[in-house]
Structure 1
Amino acid sequence: MDWLERTAKLRQWTRSGTRAPHKPLLLLYALGRFQHDTDAALRYTAVEEDLQRLLTEFGPPRKTSPAYPFHHLVNDGVWEVRTDRGPGSPGSGVRDLRETGAAGRLAPDLRAELRRDPSLLGRMARLLLDLHFPPSLHDDLCEAVGLEPELAETERMSSVPRQRDRRMRELVLTAYEYRCAFCGYDGRIGAVPVGLEAAHVRWWAFDGPDDVDNGLCLCSLHHKLFDKGVLGIGDGHRILVSQRFVGHSPAAHTHVTALAGRPLVGPQPGTPSVADSHRAWHTAEVFQGSPRPDGAPGPTRP
């Protein structure tokens, strides 16, 4: 049985690039728990808060329930559920899972194969990360689900159907003249830029192309905040800052809230700016909540 193929083909609700990482997040969480206890079952009532936190932090900006993947992942052959009544999931209702004592764990054949070949766990985790999340979030996700940090450094899987264009970073940084499009940071050591990265607006994992009009040159801080949905791009290529972001320090105001409404820095003339279709995808699938009004006030002093 090809467990990597099953991992790559998890059945998810998709339409026009809509994000639905419910099953990948649950499977990553289960792999993390298996790494520390190969026999433990995950009782729904005991892990519900953890799974909801993962969906809130790494899922799309829409309300969702961990009950959905807890029940439906069974259909992919990698997960099983038992209740106080015996084997089988009672359904995807939160109340049903709670009241029947539902507990899930990796399917028996998969557990046996992971014990026989421990490297499979890392390969499955890497595949899930590559197929569903941007690289800037991989380390955070490994930590959140309890996977050992070295998994984030494993070699990219050859079974990922697309390969990144390594030229994109240089093309994007050149287009933005080696300046962060949000704050203008342009640090170097000698001739080498430091702390500058090429960010995909529409994530590569969701068919975002390795093109300049799908890229931004961002400093490391703003790249992470962009992929977490704290920052976005609005009409007129002006910066959006989520109302859900909370930061009371002068640094949080200077580096985040004060950016609301500012125009992007770059790209240079003759270079395509971010395409409206990619900008719209990020706003719908990544940006969190509503944007702050332009010129958000600074922190109040006690």
Structure 2
Amino acid sequence: MGPGNDSQISGLILLGLSNKPELQPLIFGLFLSMYLITVFGNLLIILVICSDSHLHNPMYFFLANLSFVDICFTSTTVPKMLMNIQTQNKEITYEGCVSQMFFFILFAGLDFFLLTVMSYDRFVAICHPLHYTVTMNPQVCGLLVLMCWIISILNSLSESLMVLRLSFCTAMKIPHFFCELNQMIQLACSNTFINNMMVFFAAVLLGVGSLAGVLYSYCKIISSVCGNSSTQGKYKAFSTCASHLSVVSLFYCTSLGVYLSSAAPQSSHASAVASVMYTVVTPMLNPFIYSLRNKDIKRALIRFSGMAMMKGTIVLG
């Protein structure tokens, strides 16, 4: 295939996590289990928040959006991987690869932005409690989520369209379980300088920018809480932030680890394995972190399960 013949790319090969046939059933079972837990856990969080009036506030509104994004984020990559293992066919069409890349970048960006917005919500709630209901009114919360979607869509669209200008002159074998942007750029035989610069600036603006927002919010929160002489007040403030801080640490550390590993030479397989942490494991753990470390979610889950059992008894009766 000569350079510039993008239209002749009929399919690509996703090499996956392992080429050993004896490991495929184990990988299939493991990822299927994690995917089902992710979808069920995050869907349960959404249903509980929507059905319980005690959780109709900005903090849980953002959490419901994060759970929805996590379901979509995992669904972008795992089902295709499971289908490839089941059918023993590792091919993906060029159009399907670009589409998968678009949605992956979209939902990854939404994760970054929503975590930043949630940290800002905690900052206002703890540092400016008297102005919280005015500052974080429903219109503002809806506008913040809308802005997250708009910026993420524009970023994902621009990066995906830039891939379409690349030429590929070798067999398109991607050493990953999904179409990852950096891997596609590395396989191109045309000039990738503009693509690399776009990836760099997007990483700085989205990753570093959102992380700076999170760190600023929590620095202000810690400063405000430490100035509070009440031990009970300190405990209550830190307990409301514990779940979110755990999710932020898990997501940022794993995604940072992936980009550090991808920068090292001959690390494609290591990068693919590391990607599992923030693409599959982190969305799976989020519902457990929020339900186990949040008393409001625990109470809502008990009320929700009680209502479900009552309705089931009525139907059976």
Q: TM-score range by the shorter chain?
A: under 0.3
Greater strand proportion: 1
Answer 1 or 2: which has greater helix percent: 2
When the two structures are superposed, what TM-score results if normalisation uses the length of structure 1?
0.26
Tell me which of the two structures has the higher relative contact order, counting C-alpha pairs closer than 8 angstroms and 6 or more residues apart: 2
Give TM-score, length-normalised by structure 2: 0.25
